[in-house]
Amino acid sequence: MSLKERLTEDMKTAMKAREEGKQRLSVIRMVRAAIKNAEIDKKSEFGDTEVIEVLAREVKMRRDAALEFAKGNRPDTVEALQQEIAILLEYLPQQLNEAEVRQLASEVIAQVGAQGPKDLGKVMGAITPKTKGRVDGKLVNQIVRELLGA
């Protein structure tokens, strides 16, 4: 079952759940609309890879918004955003932790033969496809910079 089909099935389940599935339903509807808009922009039907990119972008937007709301002392909104992120993460591949990212970054640095900070672009170009949708790009960049001694 593709991710789009899974989202449709989960949306139907949330509709049947009425009150209990209200937030889940709104999040799924929102992400399906985002996918549809991206498909219209690209003028093509999306497969799972592109859907994962859209889901990752939506999670990133919510994480960034949660940080801003936390700065603005809005714990109620932060909590709602965290719940939305939790729902969206169910549709993304298994997330990588910091140790796994460090391991992967070390391997990629050795593969491309990176010597220092000037090779950041080379390393990021090689590691990004392996981490897409599985970890925040900021964390990957930070770890790679640290390992390269930037």
CATH classification of the domain holding 44: 1.10.1510.10
Cα four-point dihedral sign 25, 50, 133, 61 = negative
* 119, 68: one domain: no
> pLDDT tens digits, residue range 63-73?
999 999 999 99
CATH code: domain of residue 127 = 1.10.10.410
> pLDDT tens digits, residue range 7-38?
999 999 999 988 887 999 999 999 999 999 99
Q: Which amino acid is at 103?
A: Q
* 72, 108: one domain: no
Number of domains in the chain: 2
Q: What is the pLDDT of residue 137?
A: 84
- Domain range enclosing 107: 98-148
Q: What is the pLDDT of residue 69?
A: 95
Neighbours of 109 (CB within 10 A): 19
Pair 138, 64: CB distance under 8 Å: no
Tell me how far apart the alpha carbons of residues 71 and 144 are, in angstroms, rounded to a whole number: 28
* 78, 136: one domain: no
CA angle at 134 for the pair 101 and 78, rounded to the nearest 5°? 105
Tell me how far apart the alpha carbons of residues 23 and 13 are, in angstroms, rounded to a whole number: 12
**Confidence bin at 78 (pLDDT 50/70/90):** very high
Stretch 69-83: mean pLDDT, rounded? 94
Question: End of a domain among 71, 89, 107?
Answer: 89
Q: What share of the chain is helix, strand, coil (3-state, %, to 5)?
A: 80, 0, 20
Tell me how far apart the alpha carbons of residues 116 and 25 are, in angstroms, rounded to a whole number: 47
Contacts of residue 83, defined as CB under 8 A and 6 or more positions apart, other chains included, come to 23
Higher pLDDT, 54 or 21: 54
Q: How far, in Å, are 26, 29, 93, 98 from residue 22 at the CA level?
A: 6, 11, 24, 33
Neighbours of 127 (CB within 10 A): 24
**Confidence bin at 75 (pLDDT 50/70/90):** very high
* 112, 140: one domain: yes
* 13, 65: one domain: yes
* 68, 131: one domain: no
